[in-house]
């Protein structure tokens, strides 16, 4: 799905703009985002889930332009900090279509959420209940949900699995901590519990774990009704929809998820004697990931120690994902006139550690040389948003392409930006 399309002579284009042209104009490394692709992905979610609220998970990638696109395509927004929230609202996003998440919300997060009037706050721990209720005071009630751990194992990597007991997010069904928090919230007049939330993990490529989680969530809704006489009207099933990082990798079939989740909810609600709740979902990666391409310049090629190293001008400060989760990408060289015999190369970054590998043992043209442009497709999610200041290299700019035109969304972080924070004390 990576939206890097071939041009004659082996060039690559995104959104009708050649990547070579983008590198000339904006320099490298640079992140390129295909606006049309982002919008199309938002629309296909709306089409697949016409009766649900689709909230884009801002942590995947957020900028003022992204906020506008998501708003114009009719999605809501999931944020997890005052920073994401304030950016979204100052860019014009309606706060009532925003949900605030996070396993721990700082006083600053809660203050911003209440001041700006977010639609839902998703409670993740008992400590949050009294704190939030006190902050709301007589200004409420604030609509809240509870994040439940349904006890489902799913997700692409240990660090992004959140559906089973023993990780930091949410409150477990299995030991009654979710039920206990629900009872306490129902006793607080400052809070209005609208429903339950779960997010079982990320980079999930099968529908089945979502169905199992939905069954358990409906079971809990029935228990809430039995214990408290309250029918909760909303169910948020989180995000986590997996995408293919390389051609041929598996991805989640979103249309199948929509269809089967709907059937599952109808059946388990009927069995429990409940009305089907209003569904919400929160895809992040599946909206932004395939719409982005990272573009680097090859600065060095060396054959040593039995390997071919292709070193580029970015690395783990703009993409920590291979180092963190062992993700495998399929980088390509841009602008090759004729295919030469391939070599197996390891694409590395410029950072001062051996783990700074962007793509280990991938096939590249055998004559790869300094000056070549290297494109890393499927780079739209969790790269720019996770970029760091490591080694004071500076975070890359983000360029949007659409209908043959490129424009800068976020400028490159300069050395002056870095140095200005250090006030010498
Ligand atoms: N909703 C909640 C409550 C979440 O915590 C997340 C992601 C999402 C929705 C969106 O998940 P998505 O659809 O994007 O998978 N940095 C990792 C991913 C961490 C995901 C954290 N939560 C990565 O680069 O793979």
Res. 364: pLDDT tops 70: yes
- Phi (first) and psi of residue 56, to 5 degrees: -75, 130
Pocket of ligand 1 (CB under 6 A): 57, 59-60, 78, 101, 160, 199, 202-203, 238-241, 282-286, 321, 325, 382
Q: How close is the Cα of 200 to the center of ligand 1, in Å?
A: 10
What number is the average pLDDT over the span 189-199?
Answer: 98
- The count of other CB atoms within 10 Å of the CB of residue 223 is 15
- DSSP states along 202-258: SSB--SHHHHHHHHHHHHHHHHHHHHHS----EEE----B---SSTT-----HHHHH
Report pLDDT for 2: 46
> Has 413 been labeled as part of a binding site?
no
- What is the overall mean pLDDT for the chain? 95
Q: How close is the Cα of 210 to the center of ligand 1, in Å?
A: 15
> Has 283 been labeled as part of a binding site?
yes
Q: What are the pLDDT digits (tens) for 253-294?
A: 999 999 999 999 999 999 999 999 999 999 999 999 999 999
Closest ligand 1 atom number to CA of residue 202: 15
Q: What are the pLDDT digits (tens) for 82-124?
A: 999 999 999 999 999 999 999 999 999 999 999 999 999 999 9
Model confidence at 4, in pLDDT bands (50, 70, 90)? low
Respond yes or no: is residue 269 known to be catalytic: no
Res. 398: pLDDT tops 70: yes
Closest ligand 1 atom number to CA of residue 282: 9
Of 287-296, 312-321, 338-347, the poorest mean pLDDT is in 338-347
> Has 282 been labeled as part of a binding site?
yes
The closest residue, in CA terms, to atom 22 on ligand 1 is 202
What's the pTM value of the predicted model, to 2 decimals? 0.97
Report pLDDT for 140: 86
The closest residue, in CA terms, to atom 24 on ligand 1 is 382
Domains and CATH numbers, the chain: 5-32+289-421 (2.40.37.10), 49-283 (3.20.20.10)
- Phi (first) and psi of residue 358, to 5 degrees: -90, -35
Closest ligand 1 atom number to CA of residue 382: 24
Number of H helices, E strands in the chain: 12, 21
One of 42, 80, 269, 352 is an active-site residue; which one?
352
H/E run at residue 346: strand 342-348
Res. 182: pLDDT tops 60: yes
- Its ipTM equals 0.99
């Amino acid at each position: 799905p990576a939206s890097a399309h071939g041009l004659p002579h082996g060039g690559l284009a995104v959104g009708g703009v050649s990547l070579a042209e983008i590198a000339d104009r904006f320099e490298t490394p640079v992140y390129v985002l295909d606006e049309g692709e982002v919008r199309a992905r938002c629309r296909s979610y709306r089409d697949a889930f016409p009766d649900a609220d689709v909230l884009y998970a801002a942590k995947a990638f957020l900028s003022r332009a992204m906020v506008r696109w998501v708003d114009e395509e009719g999605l809501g927004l999931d944020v997890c900090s005052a920073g994401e929230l304030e950016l979204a609202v100052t860019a014009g996003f309606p706060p009532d279509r925003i949900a605030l998440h996070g396993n721990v919300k700082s006083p600053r997060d809660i203050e911003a959420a209440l001041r700006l009037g977010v639609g839902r706050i998703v409670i993740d721990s008992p400590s949050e209940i009294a704190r939030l209720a006190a902050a709301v005071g007589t200004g409420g009630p604030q609509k809240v949900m509870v994040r439940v751990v349904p006890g489902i194992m799913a997700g692409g990597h240990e660090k992004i699995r959140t559906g089973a007991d023993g990780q930091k997010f949410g409150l477990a069904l299995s030991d009654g901590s979710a039920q206990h928090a629900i009872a306490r919230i129902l006793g607080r007049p400052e809070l209005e519990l609208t429903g339950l939330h779960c997010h079982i993990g990320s980079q999930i490529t099968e529908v089945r774990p979502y169905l199992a989680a939905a069954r358990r969530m409906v079971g809990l809704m029935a228990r809430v009704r039995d214990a408290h006489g309250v029918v909760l009207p909303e169910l948020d099933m989180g995000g986590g929809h997996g995408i293919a990082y390389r051609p041929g990798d598996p991805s989640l079939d979103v249309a199948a998820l929509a269809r089967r989740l709907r059937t599952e909810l109808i059946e388990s609600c009927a069995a429990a004697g409940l009305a089907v709740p209003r569904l919400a979902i929160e895809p992040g990666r599946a909206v932004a990931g395939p719409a982005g391409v990272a573009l680097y310049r090859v600065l060095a090629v060396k054959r040593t120690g039995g390997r071919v190293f292709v070193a580029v001008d970015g690395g783990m400060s703009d993409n920590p994902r291979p180092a963190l989760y062992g993700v495998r990408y399929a980088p390509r060289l841009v602008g090759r006139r004729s295919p030469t015999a391939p070599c197996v190369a390891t694409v590395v970054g410029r950072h001062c550690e051996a783990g700074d590998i962007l793509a280990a043992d991938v096939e590249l043209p055998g004559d790869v040389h300094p000056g070549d442009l290297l494109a890393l497709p499927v780079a739209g999610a969790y790269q720019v948003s996770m970029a760091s200041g490591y080694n004071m290299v500076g975070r890359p700019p983000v360029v949007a392409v659409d209908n043959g035109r490129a424009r800068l969304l976020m400028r490159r972080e300069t050395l002056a930006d870095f140095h200005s924070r250090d006030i010498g004390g």
